[in-house]
Amino acid sequence: MVNKKFRSSFKSFWIKVKQLKIRFAVVWLLSLFFVAIFLEFLASDKPILAKVEETWYMPSIGETMFDLGINERYNKIRRVKWEKHDEFKIMPVVPYSANTLDLKNASYKGPFEKQRVKSIRYRHWLGTDKIGRDVLAGLLNGCRLIIKIMLIVGLVAGALGLLIGGFAGFLGDRSVKWTLSKIILYGLGGFMACYIVFMILNVSLISKGVLHIKEVVLAIVVPIGLFGILRQLYRRIIYKQIDLRFSLSSYSIPIDSIFYFVIVLITAMPVTMILLALLGYFQSPSLVLTMCLFGLVLWKNIARIIRGEVLRVKEQDYIIASRQLGLSKGRIFWRHIFPNIKNQFFITLALAVSGSLLIEASLSFLGIGMAVGEISWGVLLSQGKSNISAYWLSLFPGILLVITVYSINAIAERYKKVN
């Protein structure tokens, strides 16, 4: 009797612990988003609000807007030394930005060591690194980079994994049949599209390592437009003048086998080695470019699992009935197949995103991941290896990284059980 009561009480206690774990994970990720959005109000060497020559400014966000070319009125206060500014000002919670140098407290000042600051307001509560940068400001800046990594890697890897794995499993090896003329036309068109995209991205992407929005849009729009032109050319001219006149036979295109071979080939390669090779190809890759490369590498597991789910779902009776009713392939996939595989897709995507955070930290630890000047949790970890006694450089970012990865995986696990 006592044993049963103990088991029931322990079971109820464990259920409460699991609920608390999920709530903590959600609150933690929401906190990261909050810090990423309001970073300038939390950590900056510029005031949130200041009065300069009888004019009110918001320098912490205003100068960022000026850098983007949005607000020109902040040009006159760009050279103001705010630490010596005597008029009214409201400083952020942490009066340092991630790259602010405090040379008086350089050479690894610990959180509990004596620091040379003019007031307790300017104390480095989590210490400094070798050149005097505030660790707490670097951790807060790392929150914004973490959110960027999650969004960019999730978008790129999720889109590639869903499209490649989904359509490879849905189309199979016998659904797509092309004539020889269509194979030649689309083959030449694909080669031409790849060459045009390479030429568009060649100047700035490869030589400078910077990814601009204009070039990304062109790299997406040009192949789509070229495919549309080739499709109309085939339907209006080549199909009528060549295929029908000479009664050319059709050949099955093994879409599933081709893409599955690519997935297996990439899966067999170590992710870290691929990223090292890709990042080494660029001189100084930007943050967006680095995260896009992460997404181009991490889509394979999503595609492999989505392909397997689609192969299972497409043999169901309602999918066969949809085909017999004459519904288009796109409608069958998005309206009938995707709702039945979306749970597995989101879970796999969450695991890929959490894996990207660990990969970024690993590469930054080796001094490869982030661009010069970017302060992330992995960069702080890499600084800790040069001075083992500076424990705060490894302890605090390591704890934050573990909690973030754990929170993403906990939410994914909970989502899997609920759905």
Domain count of the fold of the chain: 3
Please report, as a single letter, which amino acid is at residue 174. Answer: R
Tell me: do 205 and 317 sit in the same domain: no
Residues of the chain below pLDDT 70? 1-18, 62-75, 202-213, 283-284, 369, 371-372, 419
Domain range for 231 is 177-252
Q: What is the pLDDT of residue 72?
A: 62
**Sign (positive or negative) of CA dihedral 260, 266, 269, 270:** negative
Same domain, 374 and 309: yes
Enter the tokens of residue 63: 């100068």
**11 found inside a domain:** no
Q: Are 337 and 384 in contact (CB under 8 A)?
A: no
Q: What is the pLDDT of residue 31?
A: 94
Instruction: Quick: pLDDT tens for 36-55.
Output: 999 888 998 888 888 887 77
For residue 260, tell me if it sits in a domain: no
Is 224 in the same domain as 347?
A: no
Q: Looking at the structure, tell me whether residues 314 and 400 fall in a common domain.
A: yes
pLDDT of residue 32: 94
CA atoms within 13 A on the CB side of 232: 5
Report yes or no on 85 lying in a domain.
Answer: yes
Residue of 358, 259, 340 whose CA lies nearest to 299: 259
356 domain residue, yes or no:
yes
d(CA 329, CA 71) in angstroms, rounded, equals: 49
How many CB atoms are closer than 10 A to CB 61? Answer: 18
Query: What are residue 250's DSSP bridge partners?
Result: 179
Q: What is the mean pLDDT of the chain?
A: 83
Are 386 and 285 in a shared domain? Answer: yes
Alpha-carbon distance of 346 to 157, in angstroms, equals 11
Write down the pLDDT at residue 58.
Answer: 79
CB under 8 Å, gap of 24 or more: what pairs does 193-196 form? 193/222, 193/223, 193/226, 193/227, 196/222, 196/223, 196/226
Ranges of H-type helices in 68-119: none
Residue 6 domain flag: no
pLDDT (0 to 100) of residue 138: 92
Domain contains 105: yes
Same domain, 375 and 289: yes
Q: Residue 174 is encoded by which pair of tokens?
A: 């016998």
The CATH number covering residue 405 comes to: 1.10.3720.10
In a domain, 13, yes or no: no
Q: Which of 94, 85, 108 is nearest to 45 (CA)?
A: 94
Q: Do 331 and 376 fall into the same domain? A: yes
Residue ranges in 282-386 assigned as alpha helix (H):
287-313, 317-324, 329-332, 338-365, 377-384
**Claim to verify: residue 349 and residue 287 sit in the same structural domain:** yes
Sequence-distant (≥ 6) Cβ neighbours of residue 343 within 8 angstroms: 415, 416, 419
Encoded amino acid at 256, one letter: D
pLDDT at residue 417, as a whole number: 78
Residues 83 and 105 in one domain: no
Q: Do 291 and 153 touch, CB atoms closer than 8 A?
A: yes
Cα separation of 124 and 137, whole Å? 9
The DSSP symbol for 116 reads -
Query: Residues 410, 329: one domain?
Result: yes
Distance CA 324, CA 333 (A): 14
Residues 318 and 342 in one domain: yes
Residue 402 burial by CB count (10 A; 0-12/13-18/19+): exposed, middle or buried? exposed
Strands 89-90 vs 177-179: parallel, antiparallel or unpaired: unpaired
Q: Is 261 part of a structural domain of the chain?
A: no
Q: Distance between CA atoms of 29 and 24, rounded to whole angstroms?
A: 9
**Do both 79 and 209 map to the same domain?**
no
pLDDT per position as a tens digit, 233-247: 888 888 878 877 777
